[in-house]
Structure 1
Amino acid sequence: MKATQLLQKVVNRVSQATTRKRVSPVLTRIPEPMRDLAIKGEYLRVFPYPTERVIGDYQTEPFITRSTKIVTLGSCFAQELSKWLVTHNFNCLKDEWGVIYSPKSLAQIVQYSFDSANWGPSEPMWMLDSKYYFPYLKSADHSGPRLLGASEDEARSSLREHFKRSQSAMKEADVAVWTLGLTELWRNKRDGYAYYAIPYPQIFNADVHEFHSLNYEEVIECLEFSIQTCKSNNPKLKIILSVSPIPLSMSFRSHLGPYVATQYSKSILHAAALRLTEKYDHVSYMPSYELVRNDPRANYTSDGRHVTRSCVDLVMDSFKKLYVLESA
């Protein structure tokens, strides 16, 4: 079913739900000065929740035009957003980073983009099969860490060029869309730098590498560092935060299991993102997670993890309503 048909369907459902002659018992207990606000804020007794109501109730100020320079960073869902923006002729800057999952990885990218002199992980590169790799970014083809070169000199040169391109994109952007994926990561015990994923068997050392799941305070710290650093280096930048609806592919929190661990990650990321939109005027939120999870059967493919094309269209149509100026 096309996105337009889905939207018409939910519009009809909203119309039916909101025209019922029903007075909620709860409303009779609301003081008169607050009655209108309570009516507007009353949860509709309908499933799935109408998309038009979700978007209509969420108040934003559109600021994106076709010429707005947009950069996207984050999980697989961020790449879906980037593809859609390019296809629909928005000015989406080249993705220099590939898939990144955690707020810690985002903060590391921001650090080496604007302060490469102080970028100093104890494992700057991995050597695999006589080639040098950057263990903090995933390769474009998702096959492993990003390849830097066949020699150390080539690898260092490649890394310097990447740092320059990364800084250039972040300084050029008018809007950054950051899609937060998960809180689980693998890091170096000595310096705390987080890898793109668990180190390969030929690299892994239990005395050096450890699993960690970011808590709420750590997520806030990573995001605030990223927000403040980007803003100080690019004062015009506006940021839109979102939470990826893609579940974890696996979890190393065996006492929780992957399903509960997914909810743990998403809950922390969701709470942190919304908290920061309240704190910073230039930071907004895109409720893509809510839209997708609202109707899982309709929005996910048969693997239960990735979203359908019609779901992407539905989310991006909502993105346009919330953040794109009508003249665009």
Structure 2
Amino acid sequence: MKQLKLTTELNVTPSEWKINHQSKIITIGSCFADVLGNQLSDYKFQVLNNPFGTVFNPLAVAKLLDLSLDVKPPHPALYHQNTDKIWLHHDFHSSLWSHNRVDLEEKLKEKQHQVNYFLRNADVLVITLGTAFAYRHRATNVLVGNCHKVPADQFVKELLHLDQINIGLEHLLFKLQSIKRDLRIILTVSPVRHTKDTLILNQVSKSTLRLVCHRLSEKFRQVEYFPSYEIMVDELRDYRYYKPDLIHPNSVAEDYIFRTFADAFIDKPALDFMREWDGVQKMLNHNPQHGLTASQLALLHTLRKRLGELAGNVDLSGELIEINRRIDEFPAR
């Protein structure tokens, strides 16, 4: 009898180069960049995770990285004070804010220096593209990364042209190549659907981004594409893999996409560590039902030994401190 297949499987070709626990990784882009960065960080990889906060359109991503590489100050006319007297900047996410403009300027400058330093020493840059739609600030006639709930009449919404995005990202890639020739770049299109643009225009937007990624991966040998969007819409084609908003992937989908990413880009010793770490995490999160028992103390000693064995390649000092604290809680016998 022919085996019944209930899903369309996406065959992701493993990368010729691999990430390990010595690799320095930076993620930037849409909220999916946060998800991926957090997953890598949870497995003890060295990650600078979406340092500018959520950035959805590709030209905003390119602008922030370009400014950081040149250590140039953000556009002075794009600072904005909202009705709560909070200062924000239209090129940056609302998580970067202050009660006064000078302090915000210093905060953004510090963030740019952090990204500059990390990029010059990074091994992998992951860029997650969310949408090809962008907003142009009427007063300055420049494209921005965030409207910060300013009245809509101060912006013009645009669907970025394929060539417009391509030129912006090519400029960035050439600059990165001149600074760090061995930097690997992974492009991906976010699996989060932008339904506010309508489902029809969301597909136009995602298609534009996908074609940009394809062209760049063909032109630049250091660029590879990871199909997170395709995994979501083709392989996980079911609303059970979405959160209740029917837009964002749920934890099951996020984990599945990450496991596919890991199989493609992470080396075998690191994958072995990840499997071992899953078991350690279960032991760390174990909630003893009967308090400070002899069996619980034995489990903690076993856990401390396992952490000691794993600590050769990654920093587990925080976990070891916590285990020792729990052991010290037991009364002397």
Q: So what's the TM-score if we normalise by structure 1? A: 0.75
SS in 2 for 1:296: coil
Name which of 103, 125, 130 aligns with 2:85: 130
Higher helix share: 2
1:102 and 1:182 in contact (8 A); partners too: yes
Residue 62 of structure 1: CA displacement? 3.4
CA distance, structure 1, for counterparts of residue 14 and residue 70 of structure 2: 36
Q: Work out the percentage of aligned pairs sharing the same amino acid.
A: 24
Residue 122 of structure 1: CA displacement? 5.5
Q: For the aligned residues, what is the CA RMSD?
A: 2.2
Tell me if 1:49 matches 2:8.
yes
Residue 135 of structure 1: CA displacement? 1.6
Name which of 161, 171, 178 aligns with 1:225: 171
Tell me if 1:174 matches 2:123.
yes
Tell me if 1:271 matches 2:211.
yes
Equivalent residues in 2 for 1:1-328 (5 A)?
16=3, 48-51=7-10, 54-55=11-12, 58=13, 60-117=15-72, 119=73, 121=75, 123-128=77-82, 129-140=84-95, 146-147=96-97, 149-189=98-138, 191-198=140-147, 200-201=149-150, 204=151, 206=153, 209-251=155-197, 258-294=198-234, 295-297=236-238, 298-328=240-270
SS in 2 for 1:194: strand
1:126 and 1:134 in contact (8 A); partners too: yes
Residue 116 of structure 1: CA displacement? 3.5
Residue 81 of structure 1: CA displacement? 0.6
Residue 199 of structure 1: CA displacement? 5.1
CA distance, structure 1, for counterparts of residue 51 and residue 6 of structure 2: 40
CA distance, structure 1, for counterparts of residue 49 and residue 227 of structure 2: 24
Residue 59 of structure 1: CA displacement? 5.3
User: Taking structure 1 as reference, are residues 268 and 138 closer, same or farther at Cα in structure 2, changes over 3 Å only?
Assistant: same
CA deviation vs aligned residue, 1:196-215 (integer Å, no higher than 9, x gap): 333534xx474x53211101
User: Taking structure 1 as reference, are residues 152 and 120 closer, same or farther at Cα in structure 2, changes over 3 Å only?
Assistant: closer
5+ long unaligned stretches in structure 2 = 271-333
Larger deviation, residues 129-138 vs 168-177: 129-138
Q: Which residue of 2 aligns with 1:12?
A: none
CA distance, structure 1, for counterparts of residue 112 and residue 192 of structure 2: 28
Return the letter of the residue paired with 1:126.
H
Greater relative contact order structure (CA < 8 Å, 6+ sep): 1
CA distance, structure 1, for counterparts of residue 152 and residue 214 of structure 2: 37
1:93 and 1:173 in contact (8 A); partners too: no
Aligned residues: 266
Q: So what's the TM-score if we normalise by structure 2? A: 0.74
5+ long unaligned stretches in structure 1 = 1-14, 18-45, 141-145, 252-257
1:248 and 1:262 in contact (8 A); partners too: yes
SS in 2 for 1:93: strand
1:241 and 1:285 in contact (8 A); partners too: yes
2:135 and 2:143 in contact (8 A); partners too: yes
1:73 and 1:177 in contact (8 A); partners too: yes
CA distance, structure 2, for counterparts of residue 199 and residue 154 of structure 1: 18
1:126 and 1:132 in contact (8 A); partners too: yes
CA deviation vs aligned residue, 1:244-263 (integer Å, no higher than 9, x gap): 01011412xxxxxx100110
CA distance, structure 1, for counterparts of residue 32 and residue 105 of structure 2: 30
CA distance, structure 1, for counterparts of residue 138 and residue 178 of structure 2: 30
User: Taking structure 1 as reference, are residues 314 and 133 closer, same or farther at Cα in structure 2, changes over 3 Å only?
Assistant: same
CA deviation vs aligned residue, 1:5-25 (integer Å, no higher than 9, x gap): xxxxxxxxxx947xxxxxxxx
